[in-house]
Each structure stands twice: as C-alpha cells, then as structure tokens.
Amino acid sequence: MPARGAGLLVLAGTPIGDPADAPPRLAVELAHADVVAAEDTRRLRRLTQTLGVRPSGRVVSYHEVNESARTPQLVEALTAGDRVLLVTDAGMPSVSDPGYRLVAAAVERGIRVTAVPGPSAVLTALALSGLPVDRFCFEGFPPRKQGELLARLRENAAERRTLVYFESRHRLAATLAAMAEVFGAGRRAAVCRELTKTYEEVKRGGLGELAAWAADGEVRGEITIVVEGAPAPRPEDLGPEELAALVRTREEAGERRKEAIAAVAAETGVPKRVVFDAVVAAKKAAGPA
C-alpha cells in the first residue's frame, strides 16, 4: 500500500451482480482504508463476507439522504491525512450514485482522488446491446412525470450518439412507450436487465416492439435501456434554416465560423458553398444585431 501522508479519496467499483466480478484491488482497499463510506452498510457487510475481508478502518454510511451532511466530515478526514474509500451498492460511485459531491469537495481542497475500476452497468449494457458503441452518452434516470419525461426525450431525439438510460421496473413500460412516441417506434433499442446475474436478459428490437413487450407483463430486476442514436440527416432534407442552425450551434460551442461551416458540410454532405450561403441568408434575415 502507498505510504500514509496527504489524504487520498479512492472511488471503488463494486459488482453489479456477480460478486466474482469484484476487482482484486477492492479487497485490498477495504482492508487498508482508514474510512470506508458505503451507500448501504448492510450490503457492504455481505460483500466483505463474500470477499473474505474485514475492513480495519471506520465504516460510515454515505447515501442520498445524508450525502450533504456527511461530505464535510469525510473531507475533514481526508484533510487530516486519512485514506477514504467510497463504495456504492453496485458499479462506480458518482454514476447515478452518491459520490459527485465528495469528489467535487475533495478536488476543491486539493485532495488527490483515484479509482479502483470495476463493473459498470452502462458499459456492460452498451457492449451487449448490439448497437454502435463508438460514441455514446449516458442520460441516467429519465424524469418520472410524463410531461418532463417527454420534454427530456424531445431534447434527446436528434442526438446522433447511442443513448443509455437507467430505469426502474415499475416505470419501464411507460418510458419505452414515450420513447417510441418521441423517437419513433422503429428506432432500435435494447433492454438489459439483471446484468451478470442468474436471470440476465437482453431484449432487442424496435422501441414500439419493446414497449409492447414491457406492457404485456411485469419485467423484473435492475434495468438499463440502450437506444440507437438518431440517423444522420440526408442532404436533401436540410434547408437553409437547418444548415444555418447547425453552424450556429457549433459557433456557440466556440468554433470559428469558417471551421463550423466546413464541419457542417462534412457532416451533412452538403457543399460548403451551400452552407455558407445559408449562413449569410440567415444573417440578413436576422437584421442588424
């Protein structure tokens, strides 16, 4: 183990199903940490028993309810030189789990943060989905209220990258139905449940088909939804307003206009001169700034 000195925050990935997936370093960190902050101390106890390890340091709870109050206490321990290990129920801390506040507070105080890489439901589902994985974005849990859900999905509708969501079994049917409505019933997707567990299942198909499947009966377990990104726009479908909007989005992100025009032309297959003319026309239509 590294020598004691300045405090160190260690984020440790834990199994998402099969305990045998625990990285070897996890047992070492559990045995040597000064403080182990766990989302659920009872689950931690079961995990340590399975791994055959006993934490030598203090074990405290760190979950959604006490995260704000507990963070300053853990930062104080880190400042005093302690090695603090953060584990959540499954997967990596901070990824739809407690951890972000503590990491941000540690970074602000100049405390070193490292990680014990481990299983991830996001990456596992992506790999099993059969959908493109070269570019993707993680959207976490979608909103529960129908209006907010539809609004979020409309924001995602034009996203070209593969989309990954977490969802509860109780909300799955409604969420898939909303996705079919907004993204289109034919958009390819995969529903991954109970990953790495005994009853692991990956159901693939169009969103309409998957929505009907989920509505037919209760789907149990922890669920990750992977959705194909929006298809690339065809040049013939893009008018001057759409082309100008694409350039404007890139400019707002910091690109120079010339570079933005070239990038939009390459992305859409529309000649650069046509994109340039669309930008000029939009500027004239907008009038003086």
Instruction: Please identify, among 199, 227, 255, the residue that sits at the C-terminal boundary of a domain.
Output: 227
Dist CA 148 CA 230 (whole Å): 21
Does 264 lie in the same domain as 177? Answer: no
Q: Which of 72, 67, 193, 186 is nearest to 121 (CA)?
A: 193
Does 81 lie in the same domain as 13? Answer: yes
Does 198 lie in the same domain as 115? Answer: no
The CATH number assigned to the domain holding 201 equals: 3.30.950.10
Does 220 lie in the same domain as 148? Answer: yes
For residue range 167-211, list pLDDT tens digits in order.
999 999 999 999 999 999 999 999 999 999 999 999 999 999 999
Instruction: Please identify, among 71, 88, 119, the residue that sits at the C-terminal boundary of a domain.
Output: 119
Does 126 lie in the same domain as 115? Answer: no
- In the prediction, which pLDDT does 94 show? 92
Do the domain assignments include residue 249?
yes
Cβ within 8 Å of residue 257, ≥6 positions away: 247, 251, 279
Does 88 lie in the same domain as 47? Answer: yes
Do the domain assignments include residue 2?
no
C-alpha separations of 139 from 26, 96, 226, 246 in Å: 27, 9, 10, 22
For residue range 245-276, list pLDDT tens digits in order.
889 988 988 899 999 999 999 888 899 999 99
pTM assigned to the model: 0.80
| 9 and 102 Cβ atoms separated by less than 8 Å | yes
pLDDT(238) > 70 = yes
- In the prediction, which pLDDT does 279 show? 94
**CA-CA-CA-CA dihedral for 108, 110, 112, 115, to nearest 10:** 10
Dist CA 169 CA 174 (whole Å): 10
Do the domain assignments include residue 131?
yes
Does 115 lie in the same domain as 27? Answer: yes
Q: Which of 279, 239, 240, 242 is nearest to 259 (CA)?
A: 279
Do the domain assignments include residue 214?
yes
Do the domain assignments include residue 271?
yes
Do the domain assignments include residue 1?
no
For residue range 33-77, list pLDDT tens digits in order.
999 999 999 999 999 999 999 999 999 999 999 999 999 999 999
| Number of independent structural domains in the chain | 3
- By residue range, what is the domain housing residue 257? 235-286
Do the domain assignments include residue 3?
no
